[in-house]
Amino acid sequence: MKQIEVKQLQVFYDKKRVLTDISFDVYSKDYIAIVGDNGSGKSTLLKALLGLVPSKGMINFNVKKNEIGYLAQKDNSLKQFPASVFEVVLSGCIGQFKFFYNKHDKEKALQALKKFKIEHLKNKNFSELSGGQMQRVLLAKTLCTTKKVLVLDEPTTGLDSKTIKDFYKIIDDLNKEGITILMVTHDIEASLLHANKILHINNTMHFFDTTDKYRECEKCSLVRDMYD
């Protein structure tokens, strides 16, 4: 099933064109890695897709907005925020028409904590965690929001290699359970290993097809070498 359809997407920042002619479709159970150089518009693409920045062109959603979980790039302003870890994770369960949490939500939040092996941090203060712990808490929160589509912007920033391995395993499992994954990443190797499609952009479409085709893609290998 086609879940998201993007056609001729354009984004301007202060009249400067950041993205042009972006078109791609997302089917259910897709695992799409979005790659490209710094400043190629990867994060902007996610934001435009989710309606966080104004854009031109067509974006069609076949999923409800409240079925989408989104984790933005690491945000340092959160470091001082007074909240317990559980308050943060639970806040991922809040929905459009939902005002209070029930038992089911609390159970879900606990499960998410367990998935990222941070249940022992449950009652800790968010502002006193290390960078890697914070990122895992935010991932757990995003997991609580996600029902059909998970959108991640460089989610492995600040994680150690062991946690990164765990992280990819969790995402793989979610994908197998039927969750669609859209992930902006710098990690080409991991993308080739885990994703089923690659969307390579440099302010415009560079490549969009299956991972296998990306390996054979001539024009892409250059950029790939750069990462290697």
Partner 1 sequence: MINHIIEMFSYTFLVKAIIIGILVSLCCALLGVVLVLKRYAMIGDGLSHVSFGTLSIALALNLMPLVFSIPIVIVVAFLLLRIKESSKIKTDSAIALLSTSSLAIGVCATSLKGGFNIDVCNYMFGSILALSKTDLVISAVLAIVIISVFIIFYNKIFAITFDEDSSKASGMNTYFYNALIAILTALCIVVGMNLMGSMLISSLIIFPALTAMQLFKTFKKVVFTASLVSMVCFLIGIYISYVYAIPTGASVVLANLFFFLFFHMMGRVIK
To the nearest whole angstrom, how small is the minimum distance from the Cβ of residue 215 to partner 1? 32
The two tokens of residue 132 are: 């890697």
Q: For residue 167, state whether it binds partner 1 (rule: CB under 8 A).
A: no
To the nearest whole angstrom, how small is the minimum distance from the Cβ of residue 214 to partner 1? 27
Site for partner 1 in 116-155 (CB under 8 A): 125-128, 141-142, 145, 151
Residue with the two structure tokens 């929001």: 145
Site for partner 1 in 173-202 (CB under 8 A): none
Q: Which DSSP category does 226 fall into?
A: H
Half-sphere exposure of 177 (CA within 13 A, CB side): 13
Dihedrals φ, ψ of 204, to 5°?
-150, 180
The two tokens of residue 116 are: 């990222």
Of residues 151, 228, 161, 146, the one with CA closest to residue 188 = 228
To the nearest whole angstrom, how small is the minimum distance from the Cβ of residue 82 to partner 1? 5
Site for partner 1 in 39-98 (CB under 8 A): 47, 50-52, 64-66, 68-72, 75, 77-78, 80-84, 87-88, 91-92, 94-96, 98
Residue from 12, 27, 101, 168 touching partner 1 (CB under 8 A): that is: 101
